[in-house]
Amino acid sequence: MASIVADDGPGVADCDKPHVFDRFFTAKGAQPVDAHRSFGLGLSLCRSIVEAHGGIIEIEDNVPHGAIFRFTLPAEEVAIHE
């Protein structure tokens, strides 16, 4: 199963991409969505949850601007008993 979240914001600098899933990482110059500063935990928690279920999460550019976050989880067959 794959899920994609894309936006058309300013994107993520190439130098920040290796760190966006690190705990407490906040990109320099990042503008808060509201009046609150980020603690840098959201994407780290996403990665922990996805990896705990055997999946992967990644980021790429959303051309011409923005970011795409994609995560995949392994599919598992489930027997249905009627």
Annotated domain spans of the chain: 2-66
For the cut 80, the answer to whether the pLDDT of residue 38 exceeds it is no
pLDDT score for 56? 98
Please name the residues in contact with 72: beta carbons below 8 A apart, sequence gap of 6 or more: 1, 2, 3, 55, 56
**Single pTM value for the model:** 0.78
pLDDT score for 5? 96
pLDDT score for 47? 97
| Cα–Cα distance, 25 to 34 (Å, whole number) | 18
| Cα–Cα distance, 26 to 30 (Å, whole number) | 7
Classify 69 as helix, strand or coil.
strand
**% the chain with pLDDT above 90:** 70
| CATH no., domain 2-66 | 3.30.565.10
For the cut 70, the answer to whether the pLDDT of residue 32 exceeds it is no
